[in-house]
Amino acid sequence: MKEILANLRTYFETGTTFDIEWRRSQLRAILEMLEKETDSLCKALQEDLGKSAEEAWLTEIGFVQHEARFVLKNVAKWARARRVSTPMFLMPAKSQIQPQPRGLALIIAPWNYPIQLAVSPLIASVAAGNVTVIKPSELAPACAKWFSETIPRYLDPKAVAVIEAGPEKTSELLKEPFDFIFFTGSTKTAHYITRAAAEHLTPTVLELGGKSPCIVTNCDHIQTAARRIVFAKFLNAGQTCVAPDYILVEEKLKDALADALKAAIVEQFGPENAPTNFVHIIHKGHYERLCGMLNKGEKLLFGGKCDPETLRIAPTLIEADMAHPAMQEEIFGPILPILTLTEPDAFGQAMKLIAAHPTPLAAYLFSDSNADVKRAKRLISGGFAHNDALMHLTNVHMAFGGVGQSGHGGSHGHAGFEAFSHMRSELLQSQIDIPLRYPPFTESAMKWLKRFMH
């Protein structure tokens, strides 16, 4: 491991990765890899998560292809120095901001979207000119093996390395002095990552999670809202960091929404408790944690079947309250609690209930009320969508990231490029010398200096 990291640093010091054409060649290689290795990728995702080829392409392959094309088109422009204003007292200098590679970057990828959440930050890292280590999740072993076997065949092996590691080896890896760490995963693990990074004062971007709320108030398009909520929630069997974690619905809409949600589940995933092409839970421990949330006094509205042989949990709707176990932690599975807002000011009640949890990675509002949308601006969250859910992260023109307990820093598109770059401030001064700047500072000199700096 130390030899791999030393070789990467040595290659970075040659300056090869600073070259824009090198960066573009690596982005083209990523696109070629995703195109040619689609079948092997789908096979690995089927083995690890039970994903269908269609869902694999939609959520993993097509997603990062779109981002790679966007970055390839724009990287030369982003990497150029950007001129900024220069104050009069520094004239005749010029000022600019020059993006520079950070150096040796570490990407620690999760298991829930093992391809997307490794390749997307890799796109940003190579676009910024870094050398990169990818640490895929050991909980998705087929995808980890795919990375180890495939990456060296397409990308520059002197600049990109894959290190497969379990918890013990990852702990050793984190003792090494990286220049940047990009981590996607749980808040619990993020505490450990940031402690390790602090030993070397290594900057980090953390993409975490949390209980992303979905508010339904003053909504006249219940069927549309239900379809979008069901898609966002049960994609990847709910194992999505920005999936709606729970619904807060005003009382007069509760029954209509519940009926529409049931119909949307059947429409998108198949009959109750017999879904087709449904992703399984990643491992037995996570399966048992999710099943343990059920039969705790909630009212079962739909689904609820748990199959220990396949580790599948059918799309499930429950009616619960804030004291229910499913409301005490991020669910990260196909269980959707519905909580009823009973106060006259339903939106105000929703805001109070959301405030009882740490800041979420995303928040969703389905409402036809401009007043609700305006009030939602006071709802602090990593991202926000009005009359939709999850889809905000697909726009490469916007940064994706958390705030507070849901993470910090941004990714995707230009935001990812900037995260993996150091934005160096540069002053380019001429040889014309102005005596006023040097002591001794006479009364006359001070008068002019104060005028210039006013």
**Within 13 Å of residue 292, how many CA atoms lie on the same side as its CB?**
9
Residue 386: its H or E element: strand 383-386
pLDDT of 449 reads 84
Of the residues 241, 250, 306, 418, only one is catalytic, namely 241
213-394 under CATH 3.40.50.300, yes or no: no
Which stretches of the chain score pLDDT less than 70? Answer: none
Exposed e or buried b for every residue in 87-103, given b needs 16+ CB within 10 A? eebeeeebbeeebebbb
pLDDT of 452 reads 82
d(C-alpha 324, C-alpha 38), whole Å: 42
pLDDT tens per residue, range 340-388: 999 999 999 999 999 999 999 999 999 999 999 999 999 999 999 999 9
Establish whether 143 is a catalytic residue: no
Residue 104: its H or E element: strand 104-108
Residues contacting residue 294 through CB under 8 Å, at least 6 positions apart: 300, 304, 306, 316, 318, 335
Establish whether 207 is a catalytic residue: yes
Of the residues 55, 60, 67, 207, only one is catalytic, namely 207
d(C-alpha 140, C-alpha 50), whole Å: 11
Give 2-208+407-426's CATH code, choosing from 3.40.50.10170, 1.10.150.80, 2.60.200.30, 3.40.605.10: 3.40.605.10
Domain ranges in the chain are 2-208+407-426, 213-394
For residue 177, whether the previous peptide bond is cis, meaning omega lies within 30 degrees of 0, is no
d(C-alpha 339, C-alpha 436), whole Å: 69
Residues contacting residue 201 through CB under 8 Å, at least 6 positions apart: none
d(C-alpha 47, C-alpha 41), whole Å: 10
Residues contacting residue 157 through CB under 8 Å, at least 6 positions apart: none
Exposed e or buried b for every residue in 405-434, given b needs 16+ CB within 10 A? bbbbbbbbbbbbbbbbbeeeeeeeeeeeee
Task: Kindly tell me the number of DSSP H helices and DSSP E strands found in the chain.
Answer: 16, 18
CA distance readout (Å), 391 to 235, 308, 364: 12, 31, 11
